[in-house]
């Protein structure tokens, strides 16, 4: 793609974004869009099978999860981790982490199919993930870890065919592998992707490379529209647009036009809505049903309400001023607009999930919604059964006359406000008895089950709040990295792309000219934001240069406790030796340490006894020799006398 910087002879760099076509993936692609795996899929599968064989021997029976994942585990020892590293040999060792995630998926599948051994297979899956975490954290070569282990895409054989290439980063996000996601190396990789310090290679999309201009302090080099593909900048723009969308809605709902005409603010509101609707339709068309999630349904509901409001407003405008129908449809339009106000504010949480507070809260809400499916499944069955009973009682006199009353009373019971008045006269005594039973089941049984499910979900999430937040942040980053568009037109700017680029030019304009035109338009649209991002990246370039001169990592920042590096020499003043002598051994518990100490003392006692035994045998040998020599000399003297 021709870049904005190239139009002015500036040096820049771009990347071609990619996508993943697994069921959990965000956007689809064809198999031909990926180059083949750098390691033959057959060899990758062999490495995965070796690792599966090893884990089956390491975890031969059901074990408690804490024994597997605890630090300095007696099960996942350093020897086990070192053996796993050797599964691919020297040639294929870069795919070991990817293969461990594949093995985790295999064990999870086995746990579903072999329910009688589910705990065993789940334990093995945990072991595979734990080994992968240790391998990532033990790797000291960051370039190798990021480029080869985490970001390079590999394939395995499935039914004799190569699977779609994917990398360990994508696998961990799709499988919700919290332990791998929470490792330091993984989070550093996500941080680099989020900042745009790692991008895809133009020549080989399967490779990720460092952003070459990271240390360039030229301001205009960073004024590049292709940098809008950076997840951090896209997220900032989406948050800005969301607040602008909310501001337009606030202005529209607070400035009602009695005449029913559309003003400028309300027109912009509906234009923004059209852009969001087109974006959702495009993604749903590309992805299919796997794109549907809670937030997609939530946003689609909001856009549907706004669309209905707009349509009713158009219907109102078809009538003349002062006409009753115009006033009726105009009022109905504003009612739909006002009804959507809570959804506008709740929608902000979708774009604020990169902040830790909102991110953890969204994870809790997401899990609670999943847990509530059990409640609603039971509720629907019970509602249908009791409703059929009440309708049958109502039909006893061949006339339906109390159905509305029954439905309202049942809904009030669900909302913990039952109404018993009226059931005394409803098919006595069956109606009131049945309603008491229904109220008891709903308010005492089902609602308490829902509370227990919510409480369990909240405890599970809060115990792993940090890991869950890191998983959410990683997923957010991968949503941007997996985006299929080479030209980033975020809604509602996608309308500009659709109306002024795709429809009039894409079908006939040569590719290189069309790409140049896209860069010019993107540069104009995003120029206010690019002025800010170029300034930020220029400051980062100075910081990276300073860190490299000091021999530190690119993202390193000097903290308060690091500002006197040459003033303290703990080895020279003896402080290091005193600390080493007094520090506790946290690798083993107190009982194990005492047993080891006792063992050393027993061994020392054994050595002493063996030494004493050796000395005793030596003395006994000398005495025996002396006695034999005395005997021989006495015999010789006797012979002489004879």
Determine, yes or no, domain membership for 484. Answer: no
Q: How many CB atoms lie within 10 A of CB 22?
A: 15
Q: How confident is the model at residue 403 (pLDDT cuts 50, 70, 90)?
A: confident
Whether 387 and 405 map to the same domain: the answer is yes
Whether 218 and 255 map to the same domain: the answer is no
Residue 162 three-state SS: strand
* Mean pLDDT of the 420-449 span: 84
CA distances from 582 to 88, 576, 598 (A): 42, 10, 20
Determine, yes or no, domain membership for 629. Answer: no
Cα–Cα distance, 317 to 262 (Å, whole number): 9
* Mean pLDDT of the 582-599 span: 77
Determine, yes or no, domain membership for 198. Answer: yes
Determine, yes or no, domain membership for 364. Answer: yes
- Which pLDDT score is estimated for 71? 83
Higher pLDDT, 623 or 41: 41
Taking 90 as the threshold, does the pLDDT of residue 99 lie above it?
A: yes
Residue 482 three-state SS: coil
Whether 211 and 114 map to the same domain: the answer is yes
- Residue 198, phi then psi, degrees to nearest 5: -120, 130
Determine, yes or no, domain membership for 640. Answer: no
Taking 70 as the threshold, does the pLDDT of residue 630 lie above it?
A: no
pLDDT exceeding 70 applies to what percent of the chain? 86
Q: How confident is the model at residue 15 (pLDDT cuts 50, 70, 90)?
A: very low
DSSP state of 152: S
pLDDT tens digits, 259-303: 777 888 989 999 999 999 998 888 888 767 767 777 888 899 999
Residue 22 three-state SS: coil
Taking 70 as the threshold, does the pLDDT of residue 7 lie above it?
A: no
Taking 90 as the threshold, does the pLDDT of residue 568 lie above it?
A: no
Cα–Cα distance, 77 to 218 (Å, whole number): 49
CA distances from 35 to 46, 107, 425, 427, 461 (A): 21, 28, 74, 72, 38
Whether 47 and 192 map to the same domain: the answer is yes
Residue 157 three-state SS: strand
Cβ within 8 Å of residue 29, ≥6 positions away: 18, 19, 20, 21, 484
Is residue 500 within 8 Å of residue 487, measured between CB atoms? Answer: no
Question: Token pair of 247, please?
Answer: 């501001």
SS3 per-residue string spanning 94-144: HHHHHHHHHHHHHHHHHHHHCHHHHHHHHHHHHHHHHHHHHHHHHCCCHHH
Is residue 439 within 8 Å of residue 423, measured between CB atoms? Answer: no
Question: Token pair of 292, please?
Answer: 């549907």
Whether 338 and 404 map to the same domain: the answer is no
Cα–Cα distance, 515 to 513 (Å, whole number): 5
Question: Token pair of 103, please?
Answer: 């093995």
Whether 98 and 198 map to the same domain: the answer is yes
* Mean pLDDT of the 304-325 span: 88
| The last residue of a domain, from among 304, 325, 352 | 352
Taking 50 as the threshold, does the pLDDT of residue 581 lie above it?
A: yes
- Which pLDDT score is estimated for 425? 73
- Which pLDDT score is estimated for 446? 87
- Which pLDDT score is estimated for 571? 77
Q: Are strands 161-162 and 157-158 parallel, antiparallel or unpaired?
A: antiparallel
CA distances from 271 to 227, 276, 496, 506, 578 (A): 26, 9, 11, 23, 70
* Mean pLDDT of the 416-420 span: 81
Taking the model in full, what pTM does it have? 0.79
Determine, yes or no, domain membership for 515. Answer: yes
Cα–Cα distance, 468 to 176 (Å, whole number): 9
Taking 50 as the threshold, does the pLDDT of residue 97 lie above it?
A: yes
Determine, yes or no, domain membership for 421. Answer: yes
Taking 90 as the threshold, does the pLDDT of residue 402 lie above it?
A: no
Question: Token pair of 422, please?
Answer: 């009226």
- Which pLDDT score is estimated for 113? 92
Cα–Cα distance, 153 to 206 (Å, whole number): 6
- Which pLDDT score is estimated for 482? 66
Determine, yes or no, domain membership for 61. Answer: yes
* Mean pLDDT of the 218-234 span: 89
Average pLDDT, the chain: 82
Question: Token pair of 484, please?
Answer: 């299929």
Taking 50 as the threshold, does the pLDDT of residue 567 lie above it?
A: yes
Whether 300 and 165 map to the same domain: the answer is no
Whether 105 and 40 map to the same domain: the answer is yes
SS3 per-residue string spanning 301-356: HHHHHHHHHHHHHHHHHCCCCCCHHHHHHHHHHHHHHHHCHHHHHHHHHHHCCCCH
Residues of the domain holding 448? 357-474
Residue 29 three-state SS: coil
Cβ within 8 Å of residue 300, ≥6 positions away: 280
Is residue 26 within 8 Å of residue 478, measured between CB atoms? Answer: yes
Whether 70 and 147 map to the same domain: the answer is yes
Is residue 165 within 8 Å of residue 36, measured between CB atoms? Answer: yes
Q: How many CB atoms lie within 10 A of CB 572?
A: 8
* Mean pLDDT of the 557-563 span: 75
CA distances from 28 to 353, 450, 489, 498 (A): 24, 36, 18, 20
Is residue 482 within 8 Å of residue 19, measured between CB atoms? Answer: yes
Q: Is 268 left (phi over 0), alpha (psi -120 to 50) or beta?
A: alpha
Q: How confident is the model at residue 74 (pLDDT cuts 50, 70, 90)?
A: confident
Question: Token pair of 512, please?
Answer: 């290189």
Is residue 103 within 8 Å of residue 131, measured between CB atoms? Answer: no
Q: How confident is the model at residue 243 (pLDDT cuts 50, 70, 90)?
A: very high
DSSP state of 164: P
Whether 340 and 363 map to the same domain: the answer is no
Is residue 436 within 8 Å of residue 331, measured between CB atoms? Answer: no
Number of domains in the chain: 4
Burial 612-639 (b: 16+ CB within 10 A, else e): eeeeeeeeeeeeeeeeeeeeeeeeeeee
Q: Is 574 left (phi over 0), alpha (psi -120 to 50) or beta?
A: left
Higher pLDDT, 530 or 255: 530
Highest mean pLDDT among 8-17, 102-111, 391-400: 102-111
| The last residue of a domain, from among 425, 447, 474 | 474
CA distances from 83 to 47, 50, 68 (A): 12, 10, 17
Question: Token pair of 545, please?
Answer: 């240069």
Whether 362 and 417 map to the same domain: the answer is yes
Higher pLDDT, 585 or 176: 176
Cα–Cα distance, 69 to 448 (Å, whole number): 34
Cα–Cα distance, 119 to 319 (Å, whole number): 68
Highest mean pLDDT among 38-42, 191-195, 515-519, 547-551: 191-195
Whether 22 and 136 map to the same domain: the answer is yes
Question: Token pair of 457, please?
Answer: 């979900």
CA proximity to 402, closest of 430, 381, 422: 422
């Amino acid at each position: 793609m021709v870049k904005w910087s190239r139009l002015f002879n500036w040096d820049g760099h771009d990347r071609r974004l990619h996508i993943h076509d697994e069921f959990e993936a965000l956007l689809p692609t064809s198999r031909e869009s990926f180059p083949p795996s750098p390691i033959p899929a057959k060899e990758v599968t062999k490495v995965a099978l070796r690792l599966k064989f090893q884990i089956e021997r390491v975890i031969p029976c059901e074990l408690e999860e804490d024994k597997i994942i605890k630090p300095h585990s007696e099960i996942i020892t350093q020897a086990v981790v070192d053996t796993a590293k050797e599964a691919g040999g020297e040639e294929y060792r870069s795919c070991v982490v990817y293969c461990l995630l594949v093995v985790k998926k295999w064990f999870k599948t086995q746990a579903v199919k072999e329910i009688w051994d589910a705990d065993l297979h789940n334990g093995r899956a945990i072991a595979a993930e734990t080994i992968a975490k240790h391998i990532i954290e033990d790797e000291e070569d960051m370039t190798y870890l990021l480029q080869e282990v985490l970001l390079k895409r590999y394939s395995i054989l499935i039914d004799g065919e190569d699977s779609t290439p994917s990398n360990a980063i994508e696998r961990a996000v799709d499988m919700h592998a919290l332990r791998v996601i929470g490792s330091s190396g993984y989070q550093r990789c996500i941080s680099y992707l989020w900042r745009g310090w790692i991008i895809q290679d133009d020549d080989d999309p399967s490779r990720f490379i460092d952003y070459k201009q990271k240390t360039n302090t030229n301001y205009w080099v960073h004024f590049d529209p292709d940098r809008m593909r950076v997840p951090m900048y896209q997220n900032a723009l989406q948050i800005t647009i969301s607040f602008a969308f909310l501001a337009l809605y606030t202005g529209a709902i607070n400035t009602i036009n009695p005449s029913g005409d559309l003003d400028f603010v309300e027109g912009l509101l509906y234009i923004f809505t059209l852009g969001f609707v087109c974006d959702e339709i495009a993604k749903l068309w590309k992805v299919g049903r796997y794109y549907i999630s809670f937030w997609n349904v939530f946003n689609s509901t909001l856009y549907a309400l706004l669309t209905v409001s707009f349509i009713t407003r158009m219907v109102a405008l078809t009538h003349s001023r002062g006409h009753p129908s115009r006033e009726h449809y105009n009022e109905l339009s504003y009612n739909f607009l006002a009804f959507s106000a809570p959804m506008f504010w709740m929608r902000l949480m979708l774009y604020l999930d990169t902040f830790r507070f909102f991110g953890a809260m969204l994870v809790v809400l997401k899990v609670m919604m999943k847990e509530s499916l059990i409640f609603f499944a039971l509720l629907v069955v019970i509602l249908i059964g009791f409703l059929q009973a009440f309708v049958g009682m109502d039909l006893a006199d061949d006339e339906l006359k109390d159905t509305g009353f029954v439905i309202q009373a049942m809904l009030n019971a669900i909302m913990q406000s039952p109404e018993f008045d009226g059931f005394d006269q409803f098919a006595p005594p069956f109606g009131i008895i049945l309603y008491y039973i229904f109220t008891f089941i709903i308010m005492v049984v089902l609602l308490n089950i829902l509370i227990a499910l919510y409480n369990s979900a909240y405890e599970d999430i809060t115990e792993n709040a940090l890991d869950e937040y890191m998983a959410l942040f990683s997923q957010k980053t991968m949503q941007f990295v997996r985006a299929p568009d080479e030209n980033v037109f975020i809604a509602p700017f996608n309308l500009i792309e659709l109306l002024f680029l795709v429809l009039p030019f894409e079908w006939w304009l040569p590719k290189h000219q069309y790409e140049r035109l896209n860069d010019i338009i993107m540069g104009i649209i995003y120029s206010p934001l690019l002025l800010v991002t170029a300034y930020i990246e220029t400051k980062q370039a100075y910081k990276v240069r300073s860190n490299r001169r000091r021999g530190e990592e690119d993202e390193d920042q000097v903290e308060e406790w690091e500002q006197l590096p040459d003033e303290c020499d703990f080895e020279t003043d003896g402080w290091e030796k005193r600390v080493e002598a007094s520090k506790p051994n946290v690798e083993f518990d107190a009982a194990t340490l005492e047993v080891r100490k006792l063992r050393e003392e027993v061994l020392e006692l054994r050595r002493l006894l063996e030494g004493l035994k050796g000395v005793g045998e030596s003395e006994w040998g000398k005495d025996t020799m002396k006695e034999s020599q005395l005997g021989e000399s006495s015999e010789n003297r006797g012979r002489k006398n004879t």
